[in-house]
Structure 1
Amino acid sequence: MKVLLFCLSFSLLCKVVFSHNGGEHDDDYERGTHDSHHHVFANESIACHKIVPSNSQFASRLFKQITDRNPLDNIFISPVSISTALAMLSKGAKSKTHDEILEKLGFNSSEITKEEFNSCFQHPFYVFNHPDCELQLDSGNALFIDTKLKLLQSFLDDVKRNYESEAFSSDFTNSDEAKNQINSYVEKRINGKIPELLSSIDKDTMLFLINVIYFKGKWEMPFNEEFTSEGDFHVDENTVVKVPFMRRTGMYNVLLSENVTMVQIPYKGNTSALFILPKEGKLRHIEQNLQESTIKAWKSKFNQMYVELYLPKFIISTTLDLEELLDKLGIAEVFSDAADLSGITEQVKLKGSKAVHKAVWSVDEKGTEAVAAIKIVTTRLPTTIVINRPFILEITNNDIILFKGRVINPAVA
């Protein structure tokens, strides 16, 4: 049994603004008219709304598995990146292996066509790279193929057409060379932020599949660096760490309930960061019972409030081996000897050996190159909200979950 090694995703979310440095696209895509863009967006949006509820459930179940296994760690993942890589892999899977992946990603052939399913995972990347969008989501799908392996042309055509995947020839018998080739690709796609995704690679690898996603956002209302000062973050009842806290007074969507405080901080564009702060001692209870339907219900109770908000500056990074986690979610056969990946190649029998996910989020004051001052004239005193104990976060574009995480200790990267 030969080995298929695939990296489900490498993800970087960075709030600092950079110039656009996306991958190459077909000339027709670059020269597309406004009307054609509008038509694409409309179709993608319709497809996404059909699959979003099921895919949100997948994200919630995956997040729960990770937090249960890592109760004391910072966690940060990109559900849309993981789903995209699995959807791309499904193009080469057959029989039960194929059906298992699609079912757990929320594909229901009676409700959504395969074309709409593919469109759903393309949607965020089209939207963020639209000329009118003030946010950008750089992405890259790549196949690193052993020099001895010949892939089916139908598979190559399929992943290129539906996922704009690039293909590279690799000599995995020279593991250091192959590792450097893949690390170089990742480093280039995310502007050099992570120089080394892989520390080693198995010489028996025949195919390496990777999805890279890099979010660049601008706070709609940036924080003033002059107001940032050091404060206490209460990791637990016995541990307090000093971290810099950003401060801003303004209008925010807020929920103040018995067990949770929730604040929505918008980016420019139709994307926002949601900070969920459980009451002291309630974090595990909230995590155990947190569903997207719960978050949706909480959002329906938002009030616009005048708030003095204190938010810690931090960088969190998570690297996960997902094979066992995916197995618990019902995506198991692709990692077993029973795997049917004959839609990729008929030369050898492949199976998945490793699924790696890495995500990084950097939060600071920066938001845009030039922002006019926003002044709010009010006679009310602001409600003070201090995010100074473990919290849950979610980054969404409409209903698409781009990133999801939990911060236990912002002083630990």
Structure 2
Amino acid sequence: MRISQWIGYSCAVILAMTALSCSTSANSQNPKQALPKQQVPPSLEVPSVNPKLVAANTKFGFKLFSEILKKDSQKNVFVSPSSVAIALSMTYNGANGNTKQAMANALQFQGMTLEELNNSQRNLMANLTQVDPKVKLSIANSLWAKEGIAFNLNFLQQNEKFYDAKVKTLDFKRPTASDEINGWVKENTNGKIEKIVDRITPEHMMFLINAIYFKGAWSNEFDQKNTENRPFSLTNGTKKQVPLMKRQGEYRYSETDQFQAISLPYGNGRMSMYVFLPKSNLTAFQKSLTAENWQTWMKQFSSREGQIQLPRFKMDYEVDLKTALSALGMGLAFQDAADFSNLSKATTKIDEVKHKTFVEVNEEGTEAAAVTSVGVVATSAQIQEEPFKMIVDRPFFCAIRDNQTGEILFMGSIVNPE
């Protein structure tokens, strides 16, 4: 088995799985046995990306973000829908029956066969990691299986083949077992996420982890000499001094009666941070955050000269996604009636889905990391215009997007730059 090497910002998704019972099947295989090496055909220089998957991930991302905001609308929120989608795709390979359908509905996978989904995820991951020297992006997956439990061999092989997952058997009773998993997470998030598994209970049977690491330098960096402390309006009406970076130049820009928006490119421009500054307030703007509106807005950007002032900020965020995912229709996966029979003959359910992120934006560029932990437990044409001026001195929305595929790697609402 192998561990994918990481660079740049990182985003990890962990799915912790536990047995409902210790029952096994003669047809199941223990992962301690060597898995046959998968014969993966050589990838193309630029793998083609399935637009259906990107559309599904975008729709899922905005729906998930909307549910999270119901709980955390008054605080900084920053998530990686790509990381969550990849981790849950790995788990989806073990689902069956109504549980599989519920996950498909929540993740917007309707109309895609499992084979199409797996191939599409593999191509998307390969395509995203082919960026440029100024942008570091890599994606890695791992699967940690409890020693002594029989798992479906096909499930393990699918995750290794399509998700390039490291598959390892681990003695979960060993005191250092969680340290080994957390060590992998720390290594593959460049130290930004140090811990995702707090403890391993007797019910745990598996952890599946996805990690995306991203680090991008602006195509045109902000001059530190132009950064000044300026007042930033908080949601409660008070103001605080924050460092505002400033730069003049030509950017892809859009303005409507709802917002000002700018695309700040990294490296050769394939990836950008999109910043949306609402003209009224962030809460009202967030109600219009849908995949349909996003696609419309992406077509309205045009090159324009102007000035951008953007806060320098650094933050951590943590949220339990169980409630949000249940609201999206995946509730069955968290119940005793959950069917993950394609994973193991032992009955299992997802117990919790935790998501941790880190992001830092400064004059040089952006660094971000995310970890999602899913715990499964035992059940019982251009017009010349005047230069724009965009001063981001109040709560705003931002997203890091791959402009080639349309995939959104990160998205967040910043209400209080730290």
Q: Equivalent residue for 2:410?
A: 403
Is it true that 1:276 corresponds to 2:276 in the alignment?
yes
Deviations 1:252-305 (A, max 9, x none): 11122222111111112411111011114x321111222122122223332322
1:308 correspondence with 2:307:
yes
Q: Which residue of 2 aligns with 1:150?
A: 150
The offset of 1:12, in angstroms, is: 8.3
2:354 to 353, 356, 366: 356
| Cα distance change, pair 27–161 in 1 and its aligned pair in 2 (3 A) | closer
Task: Report Cα offsets for 1:380-407 as digits up to 9, x if no partner.
Answer: 9843211111001111113111111100
* Distance (Å, rounded) in 2 between the aligned partners of 1:295 and 1:258: 16
In the TM superposition, residue 56 of structure 1 has moved relative to its aligned partner by 1.6
CA distance, structure 2, for counterparts of residue 120 and residue 404 of structure 1? 22
Report the alpha carbon displacement of residue 142 of structure 1 after superposing the two structures with TM.
1.3
Go from structure 1 to structure 2 and tell me whether the alpha carbon gap of 1:132 and 1:195 turns closer, same or farther (over 3 Å shift). closer
Matches within 5 A, 1:9-408: 13=9, 36-38=43-45, 41-42=47-48, 45=49, 47=50, 49-109=51-111, 112-130=112-130, 134-174=134-174, 176-268=175-267, 269-280=269-280, 282-346=281-345, 348-367=346-365, 382-398=387-403, 399-408=406-415
Aligned residue pairs total 366
User: CA separation of 1:69/1:275 partners in 2, compared to 1, >3 Å: closer, same or farther?
Assistant: same
> 1:52: Cα distance to partner?
2.5
Q: Is the 8 A contact 2:8 2:136 kept in 1?
A: no
Deviating runs (4+, > 4 A) in structure 1? 26-29, 131-134
Choose between structure 1 and 2: higher helix proportion: 1
Mapped partners of 2:263, 2:398: distance in 1: 10
Using the alignment, how far apart are the partners of 1:275 and 1:367 within structure 2?
14
Q: Is the 8 A contact 2:146 2:170 kept in 1?
A: yes
Aligned with 2:316: secondary structure?
strand
CA distance in 1, matches of 2:333, 2:8: 26
Q: Secondary structure at the match of 1:96?
A: helix
**Letter of the 1:76 counterpart:** F
Which residue identity does 2:69 align to in structure 1? T
Distance, in Å, in 1 between the alignment partners of 2:197 and 2:256 is: 43
Q: Which amino acid aligns with 2:52?
A: K
Residues 337-373 of structure 1: CA deviation (Å, up to 9, x unaligned): 0111111122x211111212112111111149xxxxx
Contact 2:68–2:321 (Cα < 8 Å) also in 1:
no
How far apart are the structure 2 equivalents of 1:249 and 1:382?
Answer: 10
Deviation at 1:234, TM superposition (A): 0.9
For residue 47 of structure 2, give the secondary structure of its aligned residue in structure 1: helix
Instruction: Give the secondary structure class of the aligned counterpart of 1:119.
Output: helix
**Alignment CA distance shift 1:262-1:120 (3 Å):** same
Report if aligned partners of 2:275, 2:398 keep a CA contact under 8 Å in 1: yes
Report the Cα distance in structure 1 between the residues aligned to 2:193 and 2:132, rounded to whole angstroms: 29
Greater Cα shift, 68-77 or 358-367: 358-367
Aligned match of 1:6:
none
Structure 1: tracts of 5 or more residues without a match: 1-10, 15-25, 369-379
Secondary structure at the aligned position of 2:160 is classed as helix
| d(CA) in 2 for partners of 1:122, 1:134 | 23
Contact 2:129–2:139 under 8 Å retained in 1: no
String of CA shifts for 1:50-92, please: whole Å, max 9, x gaps. 2322332211111111111111111111111111111110111
Deviation of 1:126 after TM superposition, in Å, equals 1.0
Task: Output the amino acid matched with 1:342.
Answer: S
Q: CA RMSD in A?
A: 2.6
For residues 240 and 395 of structure 1, what CA distance do their matches in structure 2 show?
27
The answer on whether the counterparts of 1:128 and 1:135 sit within 8 Å (CA) in structure 2 is: no
Preserved contact between residue 128 and residue 136 of structure 1 (Cα < 8 Å): no
- CA 1:12–1:178 in 2, change beyond 3 Å: closer, same or farther? farther
Deviates more, 1:303-312 or 1:229-238: 229-238
Q: Say whether the 8 Å CA contact 1:312–1:388 is kept in structure 2.
A: yes
Write the distance in 2 (CA, Å) between the matches of 1:286 and 1:336: 35
* Partner Cα distance (1:200, 1:410) in 2: 32
Structure 2: which amino acid aligns with 1:229? E
TM-score (norm 1): 0.82
Q: Give the whole-Å Cα distance in 2 for the aligned partners of 1:384 and 1:303.
A: 15
| Distance in 1, Cα, partners of 2:99 & 2:154 | 18
C-alpha separation in 2, matches of 1:70 and 1:238: 18
CA distance in 1, matches of 2:325, 2:91: 14
The residue type equivalent to 1:41 in the other structure is P
